[in-house]
């Protein structure tokens, strides 16, 4: 598969973050562009942290068609946009900016969509509306997950976080179906849950481990980890060993990229490109 030559008409989109050089997004989007034969290119931008706003302002009008946004710019991206989807507002963060030709900036958040799609693909028996869900963590990823689970009909979302006040802030922002728990209260939160989602940074290769007993979770509860380096985290290993369905963060990453691609290039990614195989190869290469 080779990409068409870059021309004067090539549409440019990209991802902005700091750091951004290990992002898998350019690999996915450029493979999709080549597969679809679209005259487009997707590149990575690392604006200095204090120049992100100026960078985005400079793109008004569509010199770049759109941006994915990653750490640490997701909250600022939402604030810079002229209009935002309900999910972006609920998440308090945007991972997609689209630059309209009239100068307006549209913000969306597809992380929650990616999460729900990953659950649907890797745990097809799971229904978000059937039982309470537990989200570990209270950062940006956790807040987006809570918003998406509520939008999908979750009867209750229990946010478990080391700093309980941050879990309480999510509950205050997102309504009565959200309950806050401290880390030491986690077993109580696990009771009767249909899903457990790790949205902390614990378990990331080279970082602090997530040493979490999941015995208090119902035996059929789905376990998902947003961390995807390593792909099979300790948490997912415990889920599989106990017979619980396990859903990985790489599937979420790939699924959030799909609506971004459509927003930038006007059509869904070509189904014949094996995005997961490409992402796995890139992760192996980076290891
Ligand atoms: P944040 O830095 O905003 O939040 C980190 C969370 O982890 C906080 O709740 C924090 O708790 C908790 N935490 C950190 N260290 C510890 C510790 N030692 N003990 C207990 N809790 C701890 O990160 P994000 O929300 O942006 O991202 C969270 C994870 O999700 C990251 O690993 C990120 O890579 C991943 N992610 C994956 C995506 C995917 O597509 N697969 C998409 C988006 C994110 P406290 O509040 O107490 O500090």
pLDDT per position as a tens digit, 63-80 = 999 999 999 999 999 999
Structural tokens at position 116: 């729900």
What is the spatial distance between Cα 125 and Cα 87, in angstroms, rounded to a whole number? 24
Q: What is the DSSP string of 185-252?
A: GHHHHHTT-SEEEE-SSTT-TTS-------TTS-TT-EEEES--SSSS-HHHHHHHHTT--EE-HHHH
Catalytic option among 29, 74, 143, 255: 74
- Residue 81 predicted with pLDDT over 80: yes
What's the CA-to-centroid distance between 270 and ligand 1, angstroms?
A: 31
- 158-193: burial string, b at 16+ Cβ within 10 Å, e else: bbbbeebebbbbbbeebeeebbbbbeeebeebbeeb
With 0.75 as the threshold, say if the pTM is over it: yes
What's the CA-to-centroid distance between 233 and ligand 1, angstroms?
A: 14
DSSP state of 284: H
- Where residue 285 falls among pLDDT bands split at 50, 70, 90? confident
The protein residue whose alpha carbon is closest to atom 21 in ligand 1 is 162
- 51-62: burial string, b at 16+ Cβ within 10 Å, e else: ebeebbeebbeb
- Report, as an integer, the average pLDDT of 140-169: 96
- Report, as an integer, the average pLDDT of 181-186: 97
- Residue 3 predicted with pLDDT over 70: no
**Mean confidence (pLDDT) of the chain:** 96
229 is catalytic: no
* Inter-CA distances, 96 with 106, 112, 171, Å: 8, 12, 24
Domains delineated in the chain: 11-109 (3.40.50.10860), 112-250 (3.40.50.720)
What's the CA-to-centroid distance between 60 and ligand 1, angstroms?
A: 31
pLDDT on residue 2: 65
The protein residue whose alpha carbon is closest to atom 46 in ligand 1 is 163
What is the spatial distance between Cα 26 and Cα 209, in angstroms, rounded to a whole number? 29
């Amino acid at each position: 598969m080779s990409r068409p030559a870059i021309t004067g008409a090539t549409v440019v989109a990209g991802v902005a973050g700091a750091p951004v050089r290990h992002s898998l997004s350019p690999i996915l989007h450029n493979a999709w562009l080549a597969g679809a034969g679209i005259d487009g290119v997707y590149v990575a931008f690392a604006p200095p942290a204090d120049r992100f706003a100026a960078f985005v302002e400079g793109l008004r009008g569509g010199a770049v068609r759109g941006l994915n946004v990653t750490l640490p710019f997701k909250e600022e991206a939402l604030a810079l946009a002229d209009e935002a989807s309900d999910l972006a507002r609920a998440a308090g963060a945007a991972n997609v900016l689209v630059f309209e030709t009239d100068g307006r900036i549209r913000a969306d958040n597809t992380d929650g969509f990616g999460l729900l799609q990953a659950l649907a693909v890797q745990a097809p028996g799971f229904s978000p509306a059937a039982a309470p869900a537990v989200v570990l963590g209270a950062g940006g990823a956790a807040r987006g997950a809570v918003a998406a689970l509520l939008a999908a009909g979750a009867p209750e979302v229990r946010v478990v976080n080391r700093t309980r006040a941050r879990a309480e802030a999510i509950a205050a922002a997102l309504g009565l179906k959200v309950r806050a728990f401290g880390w030491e209260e986690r077993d109580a939160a696990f009771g009767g849950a249909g899903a457990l989602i790790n949205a902390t940074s614990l378990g990331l290769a080279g970082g602090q481990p997530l040493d979490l007993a999941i015995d208090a979770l119902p035996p059929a509860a789905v376990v998902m980890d947003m961390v995807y380096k390593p792909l099979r985290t300790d948490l997912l290993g415990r889920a599989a060993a106990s017979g619980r369905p396990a859903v990985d963060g790489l599937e979420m990453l790939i699924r959030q990229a799909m609506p971004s691609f459509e927003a930038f290039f006007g059509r869904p990614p070509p189904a014949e490109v094996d995005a997961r195989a490409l992402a796995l190869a890139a992760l192996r290469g980076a290891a």
